[in-house]
Each structure stands twice: as structure tokens, then as C-alpha cells.
Amino acid sequence: MTTMPAIRHIGVFTSGGDSPGMNAAIRATVRQAALCGVQITGILGGYDGLVRANLRPLGPRDVSNIIQRGGTILRSARSEAFRTEEGRRQAFATMRQHGLDALVAIGGDGTFTGAHLFYQEHGVPVIGLPGTIDDDLAGTDHTIGFDTAVNTAVEAIDRIRDTASSHDRIFFVEVMGRDTGYIALASAVAAGAEFVLVPERPENIDDLVRSLGGADGRKSSSIVVVAEGDEEGGAFSISRKVKERMPEADIRVTVIGHIQRGGSPSVQDRLLASRLGVAAVDGLLAGEFDRMAGICCNKVVYTPFAEAIGKRKPLDNDLFRILHILAT
């Protein structure tokens, strides 16, 4: 019978792109660990901090007044060193040197890929928390930061709509989403856009032009939301193609960009991050290793990393249908 390792000291870090709510997750992890009598240490700069032993002890008071802050107090980075076997051996040596028994990794697909490999090679007990604005991980209804990013995009689009309607313009609004269109689709429906372009769903430029009323001039102003990774190109590229087919149209482009990553997290992201931070500690103490903690149907679930990173969550086709209905 395999004996479950005792968890007396947990390391917590954030990795990859930052997302609003990461600090709330750190706060919940630290305070639940303290309540359970478990020592906790913050690892600064993601996996690179583990390789370089850049650590700081954390207690309940160290995470006061951070739940409302965007970004991450532990800072985030991508680590080339950790991608190598030697780097991971050094990271494991850091854990042994400082008495770390387990890890809480807050991040997205790349973070979990590294955590899964670390567990396979060195048996490190680790739980991941889905901290990414992209919302593309299987095993959770939403990821930490997605709700804030969508709200930021929608607020910007609402403002752009005022200008578009005042000047009879077509605006192409580019939102983040290099590989996925979750932010684009959700913000398009919520902001009343006429069309959305996402990487997962090929769209024909001629279909877009017809939707914009290019043939009969039916619509004088429109909003088209574009995920930055769409197969037709970014918002500037697509707008040029549309302009060729609609030379009479007054077209403008706005790229929202990294504004979506920053700012105070929404209530939903604070709640999600707080629940998952507590769930991370609970899961480690219960032997839930090599897994991501998520929320499905309002229940905490633990999904193996291999499934969370190997099965990208599909876009909701019903939202495309709703967008088409509401844009007519």
C-alpha cells in the first residue's frame, strides 16, 4: 500500500500570463493553509523562482488588502530553465532544501503542463488553479480572470458603440484570444455586436460583408468583435479585406489589448478564486495530486492535469445562434 505523503509545508506561485483574481486565490490559499496548521511559502516569479530559490514566507497578515488588486503579488514569468530536465531537478532540489512538501500552481495550460511533468518526474504533490482570462481549460465552468476580462471588453465596446452610431461607422474591435475565442464570443453577445470572428470557427469574409449589409447598405453602423488569433488575421487585416468589398464604408479599428488583463477583479472572479484557493489546500491534504481544482455546476471538482490540458473546452454553439438572432 502506498503511503500518502504528509503535507506540512506548501509552496504557492503564479505562472504564465497574469489574470484578475490571482491575488484573491493566493490570499485564500494562504489563509486556509494557516487555518489547517500548514506552513506556506510564496514562490516569486513562477517556475523560475522555484529554480532560483526566490522564496518568501507567507502568513495570513501578509495577504491582507490584496483581494481587490489585479496582477499578482508573487509576480509571474515564463521559465526557460524549468523546460529542461536540469532546471526541474534544480527546482526539486529547492523544494527539498526549503522543506516544501507540495505546490499550488496558479496559471493556465502551460503552467499545468509543467506541473504535470514535475509530478511525473519527481512525484511532487501539486494542485493547479485555473488562472487565465482565456477560459479554455476543461474541468471548470470558468477560469479565474475571465469574467473581469469580458466585463472590461464589454465596457470598452459600449463606449465604442456610441461613437459608431454617432458617425455611421463600422468598428472592428480586437480582444485577446490568440488560440481561443471565449472572450470574443461572450463580449460580442453581451455588447450586442453584429458579428464575431474566432479561431475555432472559420468564417468567410463575404459572409461578414453580407452580415454588415454591404450589398444594400442596410446597416449604417456595426460592431465586429475579433479574437486576436482568428484565422483571417487580426482586426486590422480583416478590416482591410472588408474595406476592399465595401469601399463606401467608414471603418475604424480598436485593439483593446492588455487592458483586459489588469484592473480590480469582478465579484465573480473574487468568489471563484476564493473558493478555489481553499479547495487547493483541502485537495492536497486529501491526496488530490496532479490535478486542477475547478468549479462545475457550482461544485468543486478535481480534474487530472492530463484531461484539463488535453481536452480544450469547446465554445458554446448556442451563443453563436443567440448572437445571430439578436444581431438581425
Catalytically active residues, by annotation: 134
Closest CA to 288 of 299, 273, 304, 277: 304
Helices (H) and strands (E) in the chain, counts: 11, 11
Strand pairing category for 102-107 and 126-130? parallel
Whole-angstrom distance, CA of residue 157 vs CA of residue 170: 12
Supply the DSSP symbol for 42: E
Whole-angstrom distance, CA of residue 61 vs CA of residue 304: 32
Residue 197 neighbours by CB under 8 Å, 6+ apart: 181, 184, 203, 208, 224, 225, 226, 227, 230, 232, 238
Residue 253, helix vs strand vs coil: strand
Residue type, 213: G
